[in-house]
Amino acid sequence: MRTVIVNGDGLTVQDVVDVAHGEAHAELGPGVPDRMEASRKVVMAAIRGDAPVYGVNTGFGALADTPVGVRDLTRLQGAIIRSHAAGAGQPLDDATVRAVLLLRARTLAAGYSGVRVELPRRLLELLRLDLLPVIPGKGSVGASGDLAQLAHLAQPLIGEGRLRAAGASDARGRPAAEVLAEHGLEPLELAPKEGLSLVNGTEPMQALLAFSVTDAQMLVQAADIACALSVEALLGHDRPYDERVQVIRPHPGQLDSAANLRALLAGSALMASHKTSRHAVQDAYCLRCAPQVHGAVRDVLGYARGVLETELCSVVDNPVIVPDGEVMVTGNFHGEPLAFAADMLAMAISELASISERRVDRMLDPAFSRGLPPFLAPDAGTNSGFMLAQYTAASLVSENKVLAHPASVDSIPTSGKQEDHVSMGWTAVRKLREVVANVRICLAVEVCCAAQGIDLRADIAAPAAPMRAVHAVIRGRVPRMDIDREVAEQIAAVSDMLPELCSAAAGSCGGLR
């Protein structure tokens, strides 16, 4: 298992995902204490001075003009964590909490926050022990970052809030003080500014966007594979994917998707069997225009990934201490870049499901399936075949249309009008996770149907080698359905194996873009 070194430098998307899923460790880098000390000295000097410094010797948000006496500075830090721990809803899952622990430690270790090294060290200690703060999933407007979620993350550092062991059946956890004591950990007493630095930031948004970007990267390949299977099953053509056609409209994602389809369908005996047939001068859009649709999704995904990669290298605290020693008030915690990226990706990836469902419908309808039996049932009438699988896909496509409504066009003032424009980025990344999950199921429906369609074409010819490899993996776990049986378990099994299908296809055709 590899180790991710947390030294304040940027992390990669893969770093976040691997640590979140327990596939990598995280350790504090050896140079972090020195890196953090310079800004810490600036904070201590500000405490001894008379000038107001936001969050150091003043209140927070709308209370920024309220001075706080020296005797109350420590109490102020605990108070902000308690007062901001106001989330609601079901707790975040284990992987998300692990990612947020890592990301918040990374931000603090960058040395711009003016806090002690004990804070990132304790966050990573909780991560190492797999003791996860219980963080409610709702209650952020994505403006000063995800204040409520980060406050719940911070509570156990001061012996408050709740902790749970990873994988615990009780998502509510136990009082943090009890759990810390069992592991020989003393609660921290926060120094000036440390409470504020623990709650300001976009790390929860970063975590959920990282998961969605990673999943979407697999789904754009799976969509090309599903389409290629459907082309074979529907006796379609690969002529629209010809490079000579594609290069005259050279959007990068379109070129990649078309290249995948060419590779996946190369050498298909099934396609060759009807190459000179007059049954279709040109295929329907859901087949012919797949590179244009899938490719446009890829381009938006590239944008979203770029935004996330920039954020994973950013400092999103407020205020920050810049290298010349000045304490600067910032707006870097505002979630608008992440909100836009999540909203755009939700809209884009929804289209993978939309066009996939149209291909499913063509395979099930004998008026358009070019000789396949109704609903892919060899004994249709007695059997309903995959009729209801299309219902499932249609339902999720419709649901995605609601979820794809952008959250980032909304704003509602908070903190006594001090925070008068907010991003709603947390809402954007949360609903994106649902869209991604729905798209995965829709693609699984298409793969189930297309695999059945290829079975029903077996008397004509074999599909391309990559499609045979994919089909073999599917049939290794999901037998052909000649007599009706539960369809849900077939969809679930194929959904789980989509990454494996991508690997099988890539291995057979020399790689996928």
How far CA 407 is from CA of 309, 411, 441, in Å, comes to 21, 9, 23
Summarize the confidence of residues 245-249 as an average pLDDT.
Answer: 97
The answer to whether 102 and 149 have CB atoms below 8 angstroms apart is no
Which of 259-268, 269-278, 370-379 has the weakest average pLDDT?
Answer: 269-278
What span, in angstroms and rounded, lies between the C-alpha atoms of 235 and 229?
10
pLDDT tens digits, residue range 67-123? 776 667 778 889 999 999 999 999 999 999 999 999 999 999 999 999 999 999 999
pLDDT beyond 90 at 10: yes
303 is catalytic: no
How far CA 36 is from CA of 91, 105, 164, 196, in Å, comes to 32, 12, 30, 16
DSSP 272-331: HTTTT-SS-SS--HHHHTHHHHHHHHHHHHHHHHHHHHHHTT----SSEE-TTS-EE---
pLDDT beyond 90 at 502: yes
What span, in angstroms and rounded, lies between the C-alpha atoms of 144 and 54?
14
- With tokens 């060419």, the residue in question is 262
Nearest to 221 by CA among 290, 137, 307, 138: 290
| More confident position, 326 or 285 | 285
54: helix, coil or strand? coil
pTM for the full predicted model:
0.95
For 27, the enclosing helix (H) or strand (E) is: strand 24-28
pLDDT tens digits, residue range 50-83? 777 776 777 666 566 677 766 677 788 899 999 9
Q: What pLDDT, on the 0 to 100 scale, is given for residue 65?
A: 67
pLDDT beyond 80 at 368: yes
Q: What pLDDT, on the 0 to 100 scale, is given for residue 505?
A: 98
What span, in angstroms and rounded, lies between the C-alpha atoms of 135 and 93?
9
- Name the active-site residue from 54, 285, 303, 391: 54
CATH class for the region spanning 2-199: mainly alpha
Q: What pLDDT, on the 0 to 100 scale, is given for residue 239?
A: 93
Q: What pLDDT, on the 0 to 100 scale, is given for residue 372?
A: 97
Q: Does domain 208-412+421-509 have CATH number 1.20.1250.20?
A: no
Q: What pLDDT, on the 0 to 100 scale, is given for residue 413?
A: 85
Q: Where are the domains of the chain?
A: 2-199, 208-412+421-509
pLDDT tens digits, residue range 136-195? 999 999 988 899 999 999 999 999 999 999 888 888 999 999 999 999 999 999 998 899
DSSP 124-183: HHHHHHTEEE--EEE---SBSBSHHHHHHHHGGGGT-SEEEETT-S-TT-EEHHHHHHHT
Neighbours of 278 (CB within 10 A): 6
Rg over CA atoms, the chain: 27
Instruction: Encode burial over 333-346: b for 16+ CB neighbours within 10 A, e otherwise.
Output: bbbbbbbbbbbbbb
Which of 8-22, 280-294, 477-491 has the weakest average pLDDT?
Answer: 280-294
For 24, the enclosing helix (H) or strand (E) is: strand 24-28
Q: How far apart are the first and last CA of the chain?
A: 27
